[in-house]
Amino acid sequence: MSAPLVRRLALIGIGLIGSSLARVARKEGLAEKIVISTRSAETLRRAEELGLGDRYCLDAGEAVEDADLVIVSVPVGASGAVAKWIAPSLKPGAILTDAGSTKRSVIEQMAPHVPEGVHFIPGHPIAGTEQSGPDAGFAELFRNRWCILTPPEGTDPAAIARLTAFWEGCGSTVDTMDAEHHDLVLAIVSHLPHIIAYNIVGTADDLEAVTKSEVIKYSASGFRDFTRLAASDPTMWRDVCLYNKDAILEMLARFSEDLAALQRAIRWSDGDKLFDIFTRTREIRRSIVEAGQDTAVPNFGRDMAQAEAGE
């Protein structure tokens, strides 16, 4: 096995992303030492029971001492507080990154606290499930998934290369873009679908003419797949909405306009318009499968055995 890419890795936050990073870093030999920190003593004990790290700290500042790579995996609204906490303990030359799904707000919160000589490279692994907590992680989470880096102007290219190598070691394909563009792209491919899912599931819960037992009984007709998105961590998605507000509102406005057009086509029995919309959207699905972001296996890429196993 080749030498580890990172001598000392500090993971701040040990939910789905953090625990998956711990597992893949151990499995692939990416880090010589793994230090784990989280604000919950109970969660930290569970991480230790699972053997996710080599050292465990409630004090995030203590956790990052002498770390070569620090990855912050907390709800985006907590990014600034974490950066302020760990800043005095970051060593010169260390790489500081995150895993949040909004980037402009993370930069605004964290950048003012980053010491001179520390390489701050915001990141976003586009990988996840509806599960959360240290038990939810698995080493394969990042395999064949994208990780987007949004390095501020003037970032050391060698530091970007080192962080890129780490994510590639996790199985990801790495891309770079500016933070504003990232937030707009993710607003349509991730944030809006989750918001729609939360809303549809909420609507079903509010219906009086259809019983909850009927909603559950017949969910495999389409509703089930919305519930997977709507089961995602509420704290994380509250922060996404608050901290990527402008891009999400822009996408919601576009969506509302398109939904109104669809509503008109249904009201006026415009079959040609409906067929055109459904044909165009079907091609998007085919393109996603061809790009390797899902499979063409029936049941949305999942069979019952996988579902029962929680995959």
**E runs forming strands in 169-300:** 173-176
40 or 228, greater pLDDT: 40
Query: Is the predicted pLDDT of residue 146 greater than 90, yes or no?
Result: yes
Question: Where does CATH 1.10.3660.10 sit in the chain?
Answer: 181-308
Phi and psi, residue 78, nearest 5°: -95, 0
Give kind and range of the element (H or E) at residue 123: strand 123-125
Q: What is the mean pLDDT of the chain?
A: 89
Each residue's pLDDT tens digit, 234-249: 888 899 899 889 999 9
Tokens of residue 197, six digits: 């899912």
pLDDT (average), residues 104-110:
96
Q: What is the distance between the alpha carbons of residues 162 and 168, in angstroms, rounded to a whole number?
A: 10
What CATH number should be reported for the domain whose range is 181-308?
1.10.3660.10
pTM of the predicted model as reported, rounded to 2 decimal places: 0.84
Each residue's pLDDT tens digit, 15-55: 999 999 999 999 999 999 999 999 999 999 999 999 999 99
| Contact of 233 with 133, CB cutoff 8 Å | no
Query: Is the predicted pLDDT of residue 300 greater than 70, yes or no?
Result: no
Report strand pairing: 69-72 vs 95-98.
Answer: parallel
Each residue's pLDDT tens digit, 188-200: 888 898 899 888 8
Phi and psi, residue 90, nearest 5°: -75, 135
Question: Where does CATH 3.40.50.720 sit in the chain?
Answer: 6-177
Query: Is the predicted pLDDT of residue 308 greater than 60, yes or no?
Result: no
**Tokens 């010589």, located at residue:** 32
Of the CATH numbers 3.40.50.720, 3.30.43.10, 3.40.50.300, 3.40.50.1370, which one belongs to the domain with range 6-177? Answer: 3.40.50.720
Report strand pairing: 123-125 vs 146-149.
Answer: antiparallel
- Name the percent of the chain lying above pLDDT 90: 66
- Name the percent of the chain lying above pLDDT 70: 93
Q: What is the distance between the alpha carbons of residues 119 and 44, in angstroms, rounded to a whole number?
A: 27
